Structure 1
Amino acid sequence: MKKICLSVVGMFLTFFAAFAQDSTAYKSRKLTFEEANLVSSYYHQDGNNSAVTGGVGTENLTDYSNTIDLKFVRWGANNVKHSFTLEAGIDHYTSASSDKIDPRTISSASSADTRIYPSLSWMAENNAKGTTFGAGVSFSSEFDYKSFGANVLFAKKTANRNGEFSVKLQAYLDQVTIIQPIELRSNQNINSHEDDYASQARNSFSGSFSYSQIINPNFQLALIADVVYQQGYLGLPFHRIYFNNGSEGVETLPGTRLKIPLGIRANYFLGDKVVLRSFYRYYHDDWGLSAHTAQLEAALKISPFFSFTPFYRYYNQQGTKYFAPINTHSVSEQFYTSNYDLSTLNSGFYGAGFRLTPEKGVLVIQHLSALEIRYGHYSRSNGLNSNILSLNLQVK
């Protein structure tokens, strides 16, 4: 997999170093290349509360991810800027817990999987009117999940251009493949092929609303509100439940869910070399889950071409009323899960990144305008730990 990541980086540099030479400074009415970004990341986690085995057992998982986005622009009538962004991503993971869906095999189909997720978006910015319109479509596919998405957005600046209101509407129409633990399948489905599995719908609809305001030259503030409604099969069919009477089943959750996150973001500029970024969010849903998130990040400009960014995020969650540990749920309950993602917990995520933007380009490649590397460590109160390392290359 490391060879794949390096090959993608090599092709990225070779192709776009040449392609970027066609970009021009004037406002061309032809579709021209503006920017490209490649992000590669490595993620690894471990823990002992796998929902696949009823809330106990290994959560060991490794994920390699590569995404690339290409941005093109064209200037239309009335000086309207049209931006088109094509993004393509591919993830490959190996999961010890998913391998327990069918422990008879050395490596079951879900022990490793690859996800692809292309998307296309368009945005039209009218600086004279201070308005922005946009739309996008997306698709995601992996072994047991398919997703189709669409979105539209609108933004409007205030008369003095110091404030902006935006709204984004999204819809995701998904299909969940019903793959149950091997011991709970009927005899005729024990050796089923992927094409033989049934599937059920999961639909998500959301509205995101924000208002940003420049308070003064050093202080910017944004208020954020989301409303998310989900319907359909909202659990996972291979999450086991071990009841208090010794029997076994799979998690069962309500067929609808309403989520309401509310947030505030504040950025403060301490001169030319330090930017403090802060974020707070309160979350609540009708499953009884509520949470608080607080994050602080400092961007330190060490030199005109080098910046260092440490960050810390704290998260506290009051779990859903449907969660209980292994051997605790009663068969008389209507809904039940032993997925610790839905339990009461707190977590911390900290790390740092650095960004290089040399005047002559990274590695003296003129159009390779930026290189950023970030590392983060995550730890949860129930023992789950993870590490993520990412690389971002930008061509202009």
Structure 2
Amino acid sequence: MQKIYLHASLFFLTILSSFGQTTAPDSIAFKSRKLKTQEINFVSSYYTQDGNNSAVTGGIGTEKLTDVATTFDITMAKGDAQNRLHSFRLEVGFDHYSSASSDLIDPSTISSASAADNRIYPSLSWVMQDDAKGYSMGAGISISTEYDYFSKGVNVNFAKLSKDRNREVGLSLSAFLDSWSMIYPIELRTIETPSGPVANPDAGGTNPRNSYNGSISLAQVINKRLQASVMLDLAYQTGQLATPYQRVYFTDNSVIVEKLPDTRVKIPVAIRLNYFATDRILVKSFYRFYSDDWGILAHTAEVELPYKLTPFLSISPFYRFYTQSAADYFAPYKEHTAQQEFYTSDYDLSGFASHLFGLNLRYNSADGILGVSKLNTLELRYDHYNRDTGLVADAIALAVTIK
């Protein structure tokens, strides 16, 4: 059940972001050839949503859902003979969610495929940083698994600093090879024939879905107070892009599963500006334009205002506005016709506007927190999200960093 991650991930992408400038690990001073623990992070979050446009039931009905997510990662580092820093990061994540709408795939039963499910997603990455030559490179692998879904991922990245270290160019490539179980709504698992119902041959087995992503970025220090970065992404998906358990109701009251093209091209372009207004106030702004070949055009604008209450404590209010046009294949409940080639009533593909706002509290001390010398950072974040379609969500997350 992949839909929740599109919502929940919006809330926690910046949970570990710091108040000041982003800096690389202190590899210039790092002389040790032994592998040492550099940092441990723990993040736990609770997410809840509700609405009345469930794609499982054709664009109507409850979207009530809860998700409890926990991630743990550990970064270890060592130097080599050329005084380059090698960092190895192991991350393990676990989600448990319950979904009232997904339980209606088969209302007669309660199973891990419907009422609730668990997702496990470990990953391993490596980064080599050469400060003398001003570049870094890395690679990573990941997997993600739940009842009806399995994904394998791989990525590589490279970044190069200018001689004055005021400019950085980055390049990253990734691929995700996924496998979906074809779980159909209960009433569509058989086909009526003159001799009686027979099993639907499409309602079983697995289908692939592969995603390939490339990204290039340019970051520039403009002056002592202003930093800017520009990012261009290109994503290509192929395979099973429609969700097999999502119903579509036609104008004649007949019902069928969602059908979408088997390819999709996405092109987002973004710019980020960070302005240090004072020693205490940082203004973070972000804008992204998105388009794809399904007909969606989208705009995202975000602002965050971290403020240092003390040298150790900061508070960061934030707000994000998002709007998109509908995909060419979207129509609400009972507004599709059987003559159409593709069709969906998933409101994630509808035209809508949304608002996200919240507050992040961050306490950081190199001397330790609550008497624990290695406890470096505590963060607490709250988010509230609403769409003009009626979807409302709230999330709270706690992050802990040990160094």
Note whether the superposition's TM-score is higher than 0.5.
yes
C-alpha contact 1:101 1:108 (8 A) present in aligned 2: no
2:124 aligned with 1:117: no
CA distance in 2 between partners of 1:171 and 1:107 (Å): 31
Structure 2 partner of 1:337: 344
**Where do residues 228-267 of structure 1 align in structure 2 (5 Å cutoff)?**
228-267=235-274
Q: Tell me, which stretches of 5 or more residues in structure 2 are unaligned? A: 1-28, 191-196
CA distance in 2 between partners of 1:109 and 1:68 (Å): 26
The aligned amino acid for 1:60 is K
2:34 to 30, 35, 41: 30
**Where do residues 94-109 of structure 1 align in structure 2 (5 Å cutoff)?**
94-106=98-110, 109=113
State the identity as a percent: 51
2:324 to 317, 321, 332: 317
C-alpha contact 1:289 1:317 (8 A) present in aligned 2: yes
Deviations 1:36-81 (A, max 9, x none): 1000000000000000000000000000000011000011122111
2:97 aligned with 1:93: yes
1:328 to 335, 347, 364: 335
Structure 1 partner of 2:277: 270
Deviations 1:7-54 (A, max 9, x none): xxxxxxxxxxxxxxxxxx852101100001000000000000000000
C-alpha contact 2:30 2:85 (8 A) present in aligned 1: no
Structure 1 partner of 2:380: 373
2:78 to 74, 94, 98: 74
Root-mean-square deviation (CA), in Å? 1.5
**Aligned-pair distance for 1:231?**
0.2
Q: Partner of 1:354: helix, strand, or coil?
A: strand
C-alpha contact 1:145 1:176 (8 A) present in aligned 2: yes
1:281 to 288, 313, 338: 288
**Where do residues 1-396 of structure 1 align in structure 2 (5 Å cutoff)?**
27-106=31-110, 109-186=113-190, 197-396=204-403
Structure 1 partner of 2:24: none
1:285–1:45 CA distance, 2 compared to 1 (3 A) = same
**Aligned-pair distance for 1:110?**
1.8
Q: Partner of 2:327: helix, strand, or coil?
A: coil
C-alpha contact 1:316 1:346 (8 A) present in aligned 2: yes
Q: Partner of 1:303: helix, strand, or coil?
A: coil
Q: Partner of 1:100: helix, strand, or coil?
A: helix
CA distance in 1 between partners of 2:128 and 2:255 (Å): 54
The aligned amino acid for 1:122 is W
Q: Partner of 2:305: helix, strand, or coil?
A: strand
Relative to its length, the structure with more helix (as a share) is 1
Q: Partner of 1:39: helix, strand, or coil?
A: strand
**Aligned-pair distance for 1:188?**
6.5
1:216–1:390 CA distance, 2 compared to 1 (3 A) = same
1:364–1:189 CA distance, 2 compared to 1 (3 A) = farther
**Aligned-pair distance for 1:109?**
3.1
Q: Partner of 2:306: helix, strand, or coil?
A: strand
1:92–1:162 CA distance, 2 compared to 1 (3 A) = same
The 10-residue stretch of structure 1 (254-263 or 102-111) with the greater mean CA deviation from structure 2 = 102-111
The aligned amino acid for 2:125 is S
C-alpha contact 2:30 2:79 (8 A) present in aligned 1: no
The aligned amino acid for 2:279 is D
Q: Partner of 2:370: helix, strand, or coil?
A: helix
The aligned amino acid for 1:322 is Y
Q: Partner of 1:362: helix, strand, or coil?
A: coil
**Aligned-pair distance for 1:107?**
5.4
Q: Partner of 2:114: helix, strand, or coil?
A: helix
The aligned amino acid for 2:263 is T
Q: Tell me, which stretches of 5 or more residues in structure 1 are unaligned? A: 1-24
The aligned amino acid for 1:46 is D
Structure 2 partner of 1:12: none
Q: Partner of 2:107: helix, strand, or coil?
A: coil
**Aligned-pair distance for 1:205?**
0.2
C-alpha contact 2:122 2:144 (8 A) present in aligned 1: yes
C-alpha contact 1:305 1:359 (8 A) present in aligned 2: no
Equivalent residues, number: 368
- Scaled by the length of structure 2, what TM-score is found? 0.89
Q: Partner of 1:118: helix, strand, or coil?
A: strand
Deviations 1:111-150 (A, max 9, x none): 1000000000000011111111100000000011100000
CA distance in 2 between partners of 1:333 and 1:317 (Å): 23
**Aligned-pair distance for 1:271?**
2.0
The aligned amino acid for 1:393 is V
CA distance in 1 between partners of 2:156 and 2:287 (Å): 26
CA distance in 1 between partners of 2:188 and 2:42 (Å): 43
C-alpha contact 2:291 2:297 (8 A) present in aligned 1: yes
